Structures are given as structure tokens and as C-alpha cells.
Structure 1
Amino acid sequence: MGKMNVTGDMMLSLFAEMVLDEAVRSYKEKTLTQEIDQALAMGDEASFIALTTELNSLRALGQ
């Protein structure tokens, strides 16, 4: 039974890490989207391009 507990603990740890990673990615995506909206509203083309590039990279990693 000891091995089964270790395996179960490892699986729970992996699952928790996956959930946390997704939460962080989702938060970053939301923040970047808000910053992109602000850059558009201010007409800041350089920030818009940098932020959309970062958002696209983040989304590519998530797939």
C-alpha cells in the first residue's frame, strides 16, 4: 500500500501543478488583453504590438 500512496500523492501533486499553471496562464492572458485594450485606447502602437506578440506567444504555449 505504501507504493500506491506515493503514486497517488505524485498524481495529486501533478494535477495541482497543472491547475495552478492554467490559473496563472489564464490570469496573464486576461491581464494582457486588458493592457492591449488600454494601448489601443491610447493609440500606443508600440505597446500594442509588443503586448499582442506576448499574448500570441502565451497562447501558442498553451496549445
Structure 2
Amino acid sequence: MDQMKVSYEVMLSLAAEMVWDEALRRHRAEKIHYEIDTALAQGDKSAFCQLTNELRALER
């Protein structure tokens, strides 16, 4: 019975970590979108290219 409890706790911990990772990824993607909009408004082609590449890598 104790082994089942340990297995459940490990699975619960992994699920929580997956949720946390997804929240961080979404937050970073939102920030990148904002920075892309800012780069476009300022005509900063270099920043735009860098940020779009980062966003593509994040979405893989």
C-alpha cells in the first residue's frame, strides 16, 4: 500500500511540474508577442527577427 502512495505522489508531482512549465511557457510567449509588437512599431528589424526566432523555438 505504501508503494502505491509513493507512486501517486510522484505522479502528482510530475503533473504539477507539467502545469507549471506550461504556465511559464505561455507567459514567455505572451511577453514575446508584446515585444514583437513593440519592435514592429519602432521599426526594429533586428529585434523583430530575434524575437520571432525565439517564439518559433518556444512553440516547438
| Range class of TM-score, shorter chain | over 0.9
> Whole-Å Cα distance in 1 between the matches of residues 5 and 53 of structure 2?
44
Matches within 5 A, 1:8-23: 8-23=8-23
Q: Which aligned segments of 4 or more residues in structure 1 are displaced greater than 2 angstroms?
A: none
- How large is the RMSD of aligned CA atoms in angstroms? 0.4
Question: What TM-score comes out, normalization by structure 2 length?
Answer: 0.98
- Displacement of 1:54 in angstroms is 0.2
Give the number of aligned pairs.
60
Q: Percent identity?
A: 48
| Gap runs ≥5 in structure 1 | none
1:2 equivalent in structure 2: 2
Question: What TM-score comes out, normalization by structure 1 length?
Answer: 0.94
> Whole-Å Cα distance in 1 between the matches of residues 47 and 19 of structure 2?
30
| Gap runs ≥5 in structure 2 | none
